[in-house]
Structure 1
Amino acid sequence: MINLSTNSEYKCRVDLDLYSSPSCEGLATQAASGRQLRIRSLTPTEQAISVRLCEDDYVAWLKLADVEQLELAIDTYQAIEIDRSKIATRISQIIVFTQAAMQVPNYYLWGGTVAPNYDCSGLMQAAFESQGIWLPRDSYQQEAFVERVSIENMVPGDLIFFGTPAKTDHVALHLGDLRYIHSSGVQMGRNGIGIDILSDRTGDPIGCGYYAKLRCCGRVMSGFQSIGS
């Protein structure tokens, strides 16, 4: 096992699963090979140590057995600043990413951010990251991060949020003409990546079900800037 420090950053040598609790029973997110993280505490709790991913500040638990898959990062992670004008030029490739992901056999994976199986916000994060644009990890965090736009003013690449009046719990990518692509689950969805229409008049129970949960729409104006901890 490598010697760990809370003052250093570490790079993932392989794709790693990160968990929502130290018992490692529920997947929280995934860290693709090459991502960087910090150790929050050197004292293990149950089967894991607490870590924070550098690119999106996401806090989760890493299995002790997976610590050997880390290596000391040579450089400290630095977020790349990107404005809306540059983001707009990359939207077409972000859409291409999601459509290509849909063509590969996949299923909905809670906590999934690494191909081929994603959750809703994991697909959004991976698609934007493919073009060098980091988003926060969870759908409610993504909703808080974007700039609100009306349905009438949506353009391709905007995000659409669904949920309850209290909190968003689902996110999709607008493709244009009220069509959106998303990774949806089993109980309410397609158990994987699919395309639906933002309308209650399609007659499709899945699309109509999500329309009934529509909260708001938003536009990505910048990349996420890590504040650290």
Structure 2
Amino acid sequence: MDLSTTVEYRCRTNIDLYSSPLCQGLATQAAVHRQLRLESLTATEQAIPVRLCEDNYPAWLKLADLDRLELATAIYQPRQIDRATIAASIPHIIAFAQAAMQVPNRYLWGGTVAPDYDCSGLMQAAFQSQGIWLPRDSYQQEAVVEQIEIADLLPGDLIFFGTPIKTDHVALHLGDLDYIHSSGIQMGRNGIGIDRLTDRSEDLVSCDYYAKLRCCGRVMGSFINSSDV
């Protein structure tokens, strides 16, 4: 297959993408049928820089995985999706996350493909199951939602945790302050679970995350990269 930076490619299978040209750390995963473009034709000994079309996410693709791409038949076109459509999709988004929890899974940094997710990967996959795109990382997801007060939380809203400087974790509100998320080993459940916005000391995971609560947000539209407008 001839390579070019002026066309888009489609993933024939799920593909792992990496955070460095040495391919030592998983950055994200490209599910089958996702599209990407090459950022440059200058490759290292192991990888070539790419950017996913749907969320504009940069990463490194192993040269050995180039044969898992095929030429896309059409350029990716983002869809405008209004809030009413998103609101109608919330039960299905929640059902996706709950179904993912029922399958044996573990927390995987960079995971966006079943069964193993990281926090923002689960959010991205759940919304994408209904054709709604979110950015890849939790802090990017925080940047595109409409911020709301805790008292105004509805099912399907996002809850963000982190430091005063930056978000580093995200969860999906289920209702009545319960939320579902994929949390890690050191602070969490090493996989998908349900916790609650509470500071009750007997609920250690919920309490730890409550201490890191930053804000809440409502998804108002599907992510559209500014360069696609």
Pair in the same fold by TM > 0.5: yes
Distance 1:176 1:10 in 2: 39
TM-score (norm 2): 0.98
1:64 match: 63
Query: Residue 45 of structure 1: CA displacement?
Result: 2.0
Letter in 2 for 1:3: D
Letter in 1 for 2:179: Y
Structure 2 residue runs of 5 or longer lacking an equivalent are none
Letter in 1 for 2:4: S
Residues 49-108 of structure 1 deviation map (CA, whole Å, 9 limit, x = unaligned) = 000000000000000000010000010000111010110000000000000000000000
Please give the secondary structure, in 2, of the residue aligned with 1:76.
coil
5 Å-filtered alignment, 1:119-158, equals 119-158=118-157
5 Å-filtered alignment, 1:160-179, equals 160-179=159-178
Structure 1 stretches of 4+ moved >2 Å: 226-229
Structure 1 residue runs of 5 or longer lacking an equivalent are none
Given that 1:57 and 1:227 are in contact with CA atoms closer than 8 Å, whether structure 2 keeps it comes out as: no
Please give the secondary structure, in 2, of the residue aligned with 1:143.
helix
5 Å-filtered alignment, 1:16-55, equals 16-55=15-54
Please give the secondary structure, in 2, of the residue aligned with 1:90.
helix
Given that 1:57 and 1:228 are in contact with CA atoms closer than 8 Å, whether structure 2 keeps it comes out as: no
Distance 2:137 2:45 in 1: 25
Percent identical among aligned pairs is 72
Query: Residue 226 of structure 1: CA displacement?
Result: 2.6
Distance 1:157 1:184 in 2: 18
Letter in 2 for 1:185: G
Letter in 1 for 2:122: L
Distance 1:114 1:219 in 2: 23
Query: Residue 202 of structure 1: CA displacement?
Result: 5.6
Given that 1:19 and 1:25 are in contact with CA atoms closer than 8 Å, whether structure 2 keeps it comes out as: yes
Distance 1:46 1:141 in 2: 31
2:158 match: 159
Query: Residue 227 of structure 1: CA displacement?
Result: 3.5
Distance 1:202 1:83 in 2: 40
TM-score (norm 1): 0.98
| Superposition RMSD in Å | 0.9
